Homo-oligomer: A and B are copies of this chain.
C-alpha cells in the first residue's frame, strides 16, 4: 500500500496545493513537545479530500470518465470530487444528507456538480447512490473506503514527513478512516517507528469500538459537531487501521470546540470542527508526549461563517 501512496503523490503533486506546516510556541509550552501542524485547510476545496478525489478520478478509464462519477458525502469529499471532476471535465453527481452544512452544499454546486439530497442515515446515502449507479452507469467513488482515495489521503502524511523529517507521533482525525489509513501507511512507510494515533469524537466512536471488539460496528446517524467524522469505517479502512494504527483516543464535543478556538484565536487558522479533532486529542492529555516531536494533521477548514459576517456587517457605519 505504501507504494500506492508514492505513486499517487507522483500523479497529483503538480495539481494539489503543497500545504504549509505551521508551529505554535504557545502550544509547545503547553505540551512540552515540539508540535508541527500539517494544514490541509489550505488544500484546494478546503480539505485533504481533494488529494484522494483527484487521484481516484485520474485512474478511471476513458469510458468511465465519459459516463461520469457519483459519491455520497456530507461535504468535503463532495466538494473535492466536484472540483476534481470539473478540472478533468467529468460529470459529477453528489448524494448529500439534508443536514449537510449549507456552505458545503453551496460550494459543491458551485463547482458544477449535480447534488441529490437524501436523509442523514448512512444507509440511505449509500442506497440512493447505488440506485443512480445502476440507472446511469456512473462510477462510484466511495469517500473513504476506496483504495485510490486512501492512497491520495496518504499523500498528506507523505508530504508532511518528507518536509519535517521523522516524528515520534502523529495525531490524525478518524471518520470513515480514509485519512487515518493513508496517514498510517505513509508515516510508517517512511519511518517505521512513528506512532500513529487516531482521534475520534466520543459521539461518533465507531472506530474506537470496532477496533476494540475486532469487527466493524457502524453507527447510525451519530450526532457530533465534527460533521466530517460522522461516517463509519469500511472494510478496507478497518483492516488497514487495525494493522497500522497504534491507538484510537476519543474526545468530547467541548474538547473539539476548545481546540478549534485555539486554532482560530492563537494560530489564526480557519479550521472546521473535524479539522480540530486531532489537536483536541493532543490537548486531552491521553497520550504522554514527553518532549517528543508531534505531528498534528488539520484535515479541513470548511466551516460556515455566514452568521459571523452578518453580525459584523450590522456594526458597520455607512
Contact = CB atoms under 8 A, between A and B. Distances in A.
Interface stretch (A133-141, A231-239, A301-309): A301-309
A260 B308 CA distance: 11
Nearest to A309: B261
B301 A268 contact: yes
B317 A307 contact: no
A298 B121 CA distance: 43
Interface residues of A, number: 36
B223 A268 contact: no
A265, A313, A318: residue with the most chain B Cβ atoms closer than 10 Å? A265
Interface in A243-273: 253-254, 257, 260-261, 264-265, 267-271
Contact of A317 (B103, B203, B264): B203
Number of identical protomers:
2
Nearest to A311: B307
A312 B265 contact: no
B20 A257 contact: no
A316 B226 CA distance: 10
A108 to B, nearest CB: 15
A63 interface: no
Contacts of A22: 20, 42
A269 to B, nearest CB: 7
A225 interface: yes
Nearest to A307: B311
A278 interface: no
Given A264-B270, A268-B42, A254 B305 contact: no
Contacts of A315: 225
A46 interface: yes
Nearest to A270: B268
A103 to B, nearest CB: 8
What are the 5 closest A-B residue pairs judged by CB atoms, nearest first?
A: A268-B301, A268-B270, A253-B316, A41-B268, A223-B317
A265 B304 CA distance: 8
Contacts of A46: 268
A113 B254 CA distance: 31
A224 interface: yes
Given A225-B315, A264-B309, A268-B301, 18 more contacts: A20-B20, A22-B42, A42-B268, A223-B317, A224-B317, A225-B312, A253-B316, A253-B317, A257-B312, A257-B313, A257-B316, A260-B312, A264-B305, A265-B270, A265-B305, A269-B269, A269-B270, A307-B308
Given A253-B318, A316-B253, A317-B223, A308 B308 contact: yes
22 contacts: A20-B20, A22-B42, A25-B44, A41-B268, A42-B267, A42-B268, A103-B265, A223-B317, A225-B312, A225-B315, A225-B316, A253-B317, A257-B309, A257-B313, A260-B309, A260-B312, A264-B305, A264-B309, A265-B270, A268-B271, A307-B311, A308-B308
